[in-house]
């Protein structure tokens, strides 16, 4: 506080100026004290957390009570919310760690599949061509494989292999072709046993030859398809 008359600094609570003797009014003293209190209050930062007001303290208390009450009355929602948060975090982590899936290899037709179909076609037409001719005393009779009971089995195997080959299931196609080989060997053995006494009178026709060639091509084509497809898979993986 300073003197209004001479500007001399006055001590707190002084009623007269020690230099000029001018009296200090009570109003000026009160104003100066109020100014100093206001200045000191502005210079000191107010910490709401250290000095909470009754209003803020009451508001926080009510908010905490509401949260606790909601958790007690709705425990399922709270647990579900926690589970969904954890599941979301786990899914996010799993998606980051997951690598790109390997591209699917398209199962195209190979040269082996074409060879298998050619074998099926030859074996199929052989069913209706002359399988054997029997000549006795100037009379001859031709027999086709379709006219026998074994012909029905051959026909079922040929059609099954052709259909399976269309879907490019090579291992099943190979198994069916091997079944055809088994039936062919059984047919050779059965014909040899029955016509052993008339071997000089029996002449085998083109149907038997086409059946043999067709079934052999069916087996070779199925084996080739398996190896070629494995080779294509390796090339696609390397690329």
Q: What is the DSSP letter of 2?
A: B
pTM reported for the whole predicted model: 0.56
Distance of CA 231 to the CA centre of its chain: 25
CB 140 within 8 A of CB 225: no
How far is residue 204's CA from residue 200's CA, in Å, rounded to a whole number? 11
Domain boundaries, given as residue ranges, for the chain: 1-48, 61-97, 111-238
Task: State the fold for domain 111-238.
Answer: Butyryl-CoA Dehydrogenase, subunit A; domain 3 (1.20.140)
Q: What is the DSSP letter of 14?
A: -
How far is residue 217's CA from residue 213's CA, in Å, rounded to a whole number? 6
Tell me the HSE value of 210 on the side-chain side, using a 13 A CA sphere.
21
> How are beta strands 139-144 and 202-204 bridged, if at all?
unpaired
Kindly report the length of the chain: 239
Per-residue pLDDT in tens (0 to 9) along the chain, 239 residues: 677 777 777 777 777 777 777 776 665 565 656 555 655 544 445 454 444 554 555 556 566 655 555 555 555 554 555 555 555 555 544 444 445 555 555 678 999 999 999 999 999 999 999 998 988 877 888 989 998 888 999 999 999 999 999 999 999 999 999 999 999 999 999 888 887 777 778 889 999 999 999 999 999 999 999 999 998 888 877 76
CB 218 within 8 A of CB 154: no
């Amino acid at each position: 506080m300073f003197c209004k008359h001479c500007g001399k600094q006055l001590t707190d609570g002084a009623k007269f100026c020690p230099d000029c003797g001018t009296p200090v009014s009570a109003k000026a003293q009160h104003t100066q004290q109020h100014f100093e209190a206001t200045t000191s209050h502005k210079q000191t930062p107010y910490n709401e957390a250290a000095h909470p007001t009754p209003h803020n303290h009451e508001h926080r208390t009510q908010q905490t009570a509401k949260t606790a009450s909601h958790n007690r009355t709705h425990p399922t929602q709270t647990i579900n919310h926690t589970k969904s948060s954890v599941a979301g975090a786990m899914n996010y982590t799993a998606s980051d760690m997951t690598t790109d899936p390997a591209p699917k290899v398209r199962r195209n037709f190979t040269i082996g599949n074409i060879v298998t179909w050619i074998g099926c076609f030859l074996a199929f037409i052989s069913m209706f061509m002359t399988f054997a001719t029997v000549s006795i005393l100037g009379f001859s009779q031709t027999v086709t494989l379709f006219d026998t009971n074994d012909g029905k089995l051959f026909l079922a195997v040929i059609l099954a292999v052709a259909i399976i080959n269309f879907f490019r299931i090579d291992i099943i196609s190979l198994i069916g072709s091997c079944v055809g080989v088994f039936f062919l060997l059984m047919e050779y053995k059965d014909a040899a046993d029955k016509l052993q006494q008339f071997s000089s009178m029996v002449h085998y026709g083109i149907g038997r030859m086409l059946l043999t060639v067709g079934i052999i091509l069916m087996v070779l084509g199925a084996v080739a398809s398996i190896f070629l497809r494995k080779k294509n898979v390796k090339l696609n993986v390397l690329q």
